[in-house]
Amino acid sequence: MRINAVAFSTNGCRTAIKLKEAFPEEDIRIFSKTMSDNLGVERIEGKVGEWTGRSFEECDAVVFIGAIGIAVRYIAPFVRSKTVDPAVVAMDEHAIWAVALLSGHIGGCNELTARIADRMGSEAVITTATDLNGKFSVDTFAARNGMRISSMSIAKDVSSKVLDGSFVGFCSEMPIEGKFPEGIVEADSGPFGVCVSSDPERKPFETTLNLTPMDVVLGVGCRRGTEPSKLRSFAEKVLKEENIAPERVGSVASIDLKKDEEAVLALARRLRAPAVFYSAEQLNSLEGEFSRSEFVNRITSVDCVCERSAMMEGGRLIRRKTAEDGMTIAICIREMHPRFL
């Protein structure tokens, strides 16, 4: 996870440093507005509100170390939706409390808060009803298993029914490991249920919540300055030819030379998937047989950007390089092993 943490006192800075040390596996940057340069904390230049806005766009989680009211005031202008907001955790400067403030389920805030509490010796404060009652949370299930939720409104109804003691039907075209949670019953039809399928339009229940596995990686390459609409149309055409619903795209991948290429970034936004970029060294580290372009190799030092980018997360290459008007696309399907929590 990419995490930005901000502290508002010297004690808070010390806690932020301990937080970073407690999570060596995560990408954590710590900031402050106080004079704590000697502690090795990055100083926020400009307004904290502007820093918060950037953190919301760039990070998976934001941790505020100070009064919880400070966190609430700074995040308020940037809160949009539980499907896109990062996790926000509030901690006091002595790490006595760790409060899950925003995006408890989809954003992973509840899980992150519990991890922080475990490693920092804090008391976790988690207030979501399904967690308090030990019930199945469909948005947590979807987030942990890399699935796209078709309707947050219906997802809320799932949680309400489970909390009320009603039964919710559940069907899946792929095996789900683990035991069915309380209130979730295997069914192929009925008045209300959850359907895990690569087809987001499949409706086995009268009211169906579709969970679409995001198992597709779209590897892309393009000339500098390619029109975003051209790359979008090309991607849509290739996906349609492979009978792949756009909802299945979990990431758009390319070489880091394209990290500021608007066509690639716009495609990722259109597909509601993260844009992921790799260095030439990372791409060339992949073993296997890939298409080769001498021209691309001269420019990027990589023989085939789209295929190697698509395969960086592992999986099976189902569409090799397809080229059109200076653009290339390859498609990889990642193996998924969903499980109940």
Instruction: Indicate the CATH number for domain 145-213.
Output: 3.40.1390.40
Residue 286 is predicted with a pLDDT of 82
Q: What is the DSSP code string of 26-47?
A: SEEEEEESSS-GGGTPEEPPS-
CA distance 118 to 116: 5
pLDDT at 34: 72
- Confirm if 177 and 340 have CB atoms less than 8 A apart: yes
pLDDT value of residue 291? 82
- The domain 2-127 is classified under which CATH number: 3.10.620.30, 3.40.50.11220, 3.40.718.10, 3.40.50.880? 3.40.50.11220
Series of mean pLDDT values for 10-residue runs along the chain (341 residues)? 92 93 93 72 90 93 95 95 91 96 88 94 91 86 93 92 92 94 93 96 96 97 94 97 97 92 95 92 87 74 87 92 94 94 77
Inter-residue contact 51 to 44 (CB < 8 Å): yes
**Fold topology of 216-333:** Nucleotidyltransferase; domain 5 (3.30.420)
Would 145-213 and 216-333 be classified into the same CATH topology? no
Query: What confidence score (pLDDT) does residue 171 get?
Result: 96
Give domain limits for the chain. Answer: 2-127, 145-213, 216-333
Rounded Cα distance between 211 and 317, Å, is 23
Distance of CA 11 to the CA centre of its chain: 32
Q: pLDDT for 240-288, tens place per residue?
A: 999 999 999 999 999 998 999 999 999 999 999 999 999 999 998 888 8
Report whether 141 contacts 340 (CB < 8 A).
yes
pLDDT digits (tens, 9 = 90+) for 69-96: 999 999 999 999 888 899 999 999 999 9
**Cβ distance 330 to 306 under 8 Å?**
yes
Residue pair 64/6 in contact by the 8 Å Cβ criterion: yes
Helices (H), 151-227: 152-163
Picking from 41, 73, 80, the residue whose alpha carbon sits closest to that of residue 57 is 80
pLDDT for 70:
94
Q: What is the pLDDT of residue 35?
A: 62
